[in-house]
Each structure stands twice: as structure tokens, then as C-alpha cells.
Amino acid sequence: MALRAPPLAVRACCAAGLALAMAGCTDGYPREDVPSTRQMTVSEHLHALNGYLTGGSVQRRLARQDDCHLVLKKRRDAGQAQRIVIPLLESSVEIATHPAGSGLRVKLTQHQDGLRQVWLRLDLDRWIDAVAWRSHFQQLQLHCRDVVERGAEAP
């Protein structure tokens, strides 16, 4: 018995069905789920960063001093308030596993004169939260760099 090719109508229906199935997948992951970090304002980035800083025995809050500096305000439950100015372009975010072995530790650091200063330690359970925190901070750095470059271009 010889194999015959399917009739033209069957092949056309299969091709149309495949085209419809692929058309539904061409746009990828839904864009409504997560806002684009490039479209967020500086205030929205700060709000997102501060959302991760709530809770614990230390009250912490980041505020904007100017386009290129943040202010970290820290206060222990029964202690004095501390105010630290963080230069955005001289700081970096490090992500590592927590020393105790569970979760992740995010560190906001600055290297100056061969010394490493840690401004902030943040313990998070999920990788996506650590990466989101770093991404929001990096967007503030990009905003600062844009402001600096526009200022350098001005006559």
C-alpha cells in the first residue's frame, strides 16, 4: 500500500491552525504584569526601594537629596537616628547568598581609597526581589548619569 499525501484542504486547515496558534504567542510575556523600570519616575523607584526596607528592628528609608545623591535614614528601635549620604555614581549593589545559608543578602557599597564601605545590608528571601532592588537602584544611577551628561553638554 502506497502512502498518499493528505488532501489539499487538510493541509490548508493544519497550516491555518498552526498560524493562529503562533500568532497568539508572538508578543511574548504579558507586559501588563510588570511596569517598565525605564518608564518609572525617580519617586516611583524610591518608593519601590523603600518597600523592601520595611520591617525589622531597624527603621530605614531612602530619600532623594538631589539627582545624584540619596539619603539613607536609619534608626534602631531604641537608638539614635543616623543619616548617610549615598553618592549614586560611586555606589554599587552586590547580591550574595546569606551567610546563614537561607535567602540572599543585598549590600549597597562604595569603594573609595581602596576601602569598601557598606551603607546598607538587606536580607531577602527571593532572587527576583534582590534583582528588582538592584534594578531600581541602577535606574536611579542611570538618571543621575543622564543629568550629569546633559549638564556637561550645556554651553
Give the model's pLDDT for residue 75: 87
With H, G, I as helix, E, B as strand and everything else as coil, classify residue 77.
coil
Assessment of whether the complete model's pTM goes beyond 0.85: no
Q: Are 93 and 133 in contact (CB under 8 A)?
A: yes
Domain ranges of the chain: 37-90+124-149
Question: So what's the pLDDT on residue 27?
Answer: 46
The distance of Cα 12 from the centroid of its chain, to the nearest Å, equals 46
Chain position carrying cell 540572599: 104
Residue by residue, pLDDT tens for the chain (155 residues) are 555 655 655 555 445 554 444 444 444 544 445 556 568 999 999 999 999 998 777 889 999 999 999 999 998 777 788 999 999 999 999 999 988 888 999 999 998 888 889 999 999 999 999 999 999 999 999 999 999 998 877 66
Question: Under 8 Å CB-to-CB from 80, ≥6 apart: which residues?
Answer: none
Give the amino acid at 101.
G
What are the cell numbers at 9? 484542504
Interatomic CA distance for residues 35 and 22, integer angstroms: 25
Cell matching residue 110: 562604595
The three-point CA angle 52-57-61 to 5° equals: 40
